[in-house]
Copies of this chain bind each other. A is one copy, B any other.
Amino acid sequence: MSVNITPRPEDKFSFGIWTVGWQGTDVFGTAVRPPMPADRAVRKLAELGAYGVNFHDNDVFDFSATEAERDERIAAFRKALSETGLVVTTATTNLFGHPMFKDGAFTANERSVRRFAIAKVMRNLDLAAELGARHYVFWGGREGAESGAAKDIRAALDRYAEAMNTLCAYVQDNGYGIRFVIEPKPNEPRGDILLPTLGHALAFIGSLEHEEMVGINPEVGHEEMAGLNYAHGITQALWHGKLFHIDLNGQNGPRYDQDLRFGAGNARGAFWVVDALEAGGYDGPVHFDYKPPRTEDDAGVWDSAAACMRNYLILREKVRAFRADPEVIEAMATSRIPELSEPTLSPGETWRDVRGAASSTDVEALAVRGMGYEHLDQLALEHLYGVR
């Protein structure tokens, strides 16, 4: 296999400023790396071949920054963008770091927290629009509860929708041309988080006033924390026309949020993720939301960032080779994969035409006929292994 492993702009690789900038603070230990100014992240990512970045407001300036400090940090960020040619594909709001958000933001019991949160988003939407972001992410990491009575879930969903509706109006009234994306997560840092899977988020979006403006931004690890198949999930999202953005990384099943680099974690699943994106015609940013492990120094940060892109390109080459392999095509035919694309009812048929199907079906023949999936899956695995 010859893989072109040099990331190109058309690959649309992007990173969160907070990913390479993560200092390694966790529940059990303090920072292992110094703070990374947003502009340094931009310059280093550009060197590695990234196309764009995504940022929280407080990735660029501190929560408590003065206006002057804010302006200064934004100017440095903007300068780095300008000099490197990196685009801001996406932006988001930090509504989880400050203690005031300990009970949530849009669904905090305290109304003044909710109002503050909406205002904080609006302010960063202005910056996002100015910097040309096309998508704006809502990860409601603190919208949830550890115990049953702590959150009136019905009221919380009302408030969640109210916030989203208000912010949709804000974008529309300001003519920003930004689309919203909700990023689901089942738990951590809250015991249970609202809109825990991409399915729940998709359903919720259907209840919003401007549902056409809102899609989802599912993250590999967040879905896999619930034991769900991410490739299946994003394909359902594509089927609904709602996969506006993706967050790629790695995870080893139900446990704490690992945010491994893409490719690490569920390696076999990663192959099918790339296949699902290719097959589904996804054309948004290929965004990495991972954390360089706490064992790494600055060099390790960039090694891991580069590896995210490299692994995507390797896997993309593999899935293309898999889909083009004549033996695979034959195995798919044997497994009747194309037959599933044939409507169950012929053109013009109604239930009346199917009503009697049972009597004419050779049940026993169908019972014994094998699907040939093990052969087909082994071909896929050998493409992953690089031995075909």
Q: Is the CB of A377 within 8 A of B199?
A: no
- What is the chain B residue whose CB lies nearest that of A252? B191
Task: Please tell me if A297 contacts chain B, counting CB pairs below 8 Å.
Answer: yes
A228-B226, A387-B1 known; A295-B146 Cβ under 8 A: yes
Q: Is the CB of A266 within 8 A of B266?
A: yes
> Which of A35-43, A47-55, A81-89, A338-346 lies at the binding interface?
A338-346
**Complex: how many Å from CA A358 to CA B344?**
55
Interface residues of A in 95-109 (CB under 8 A from B): 96-103, 106-109
Give which listed residue, B96, B106, B201, B377, contacts A149 with CB less than 8 A.
B377
> Which of A6-14, A127-135, A151-159 lies at the binding interface?
A151-159
Complex interface: chain B residues within 8 A of A387 (CB): 1, 3, 314, 386
Complex interface: chain B residues within 8 A of A98 (CB): 29-30, 363, 367
Interface residues of A in 178-200 (CB under 8 A from B): 186-189, 191-192, 194-200
- What is the chain B residue whose CB lies nearest that of A241? B207
Q: Is the CB of B186 within 8 A of A344?
A: no
Task: Please tell me if A348 contacts chain B, counting CB pairs below 8 Å.
Answer: no
Interface residues of A in 17-76 (CB under 8 A from B): 24-32
The residue in A28, A166, A170, A186 that gathers the most chain B C-beta atoms within 10 A of its C-beta is: A28
Q: Is the CB of A344 within 8 A of B99?
A: no
Q: Is the CB of B256 within 8 A of A372?
A: no
A189-B29, A356-B119 known; A155-B371 Cβ under 8 A: no
Chain A 235-260, CB-CB to B under 8 Å as 1, else 0, gives 11011100000000000111111101
Chain B nearest Cβ from A142, distance in angstroms: 8
Q: Is the CB of B189 within 8 A of A146?
A: no
The residue in A103, A120, A318, A374 that gathers the most chain B C-beta atoms within 10 A of its C-beta is: A374
Task: Please tell me if A271 contacts chain B, counting CB pairs below 8 Å.
Answer: yes
The residue in A257, A345, A351 that gathers the most chain B C-beta atoms within 10 A of its C-beta is: A351
Task: Please tell me if A214 contacts chain B, counting CB pairs below 8 Å.
Answer: no
Complex interface: chain B residues within 8 A of A350 (CB): 166, 169
Q: Is the CB of A384 within 8 A of B381?
A: no
**Complex: how many Å from CA A21 to CA B114?**
29
Subset of 24 A-B contacts with CB under 8 Å = A25-B27, A26-B189, A28-B141, A29-B99, A103-B295, A112-B362, A148-B231, A148-B380, A149-B322, A150-B371, A150-B376, A159-B340, A159-B343, A163-B344, A187-B227, A194-B232, A195-B199, A197-B199, A197-B200, A226-B226, A265-B268, A299-B372, A311-B381, A314-B387
Apart from A194-B232, A318-B385, list 4 A-B contacts with CB within 8 A.
A32-B102, A100-B363, A123-B358, A196-B233
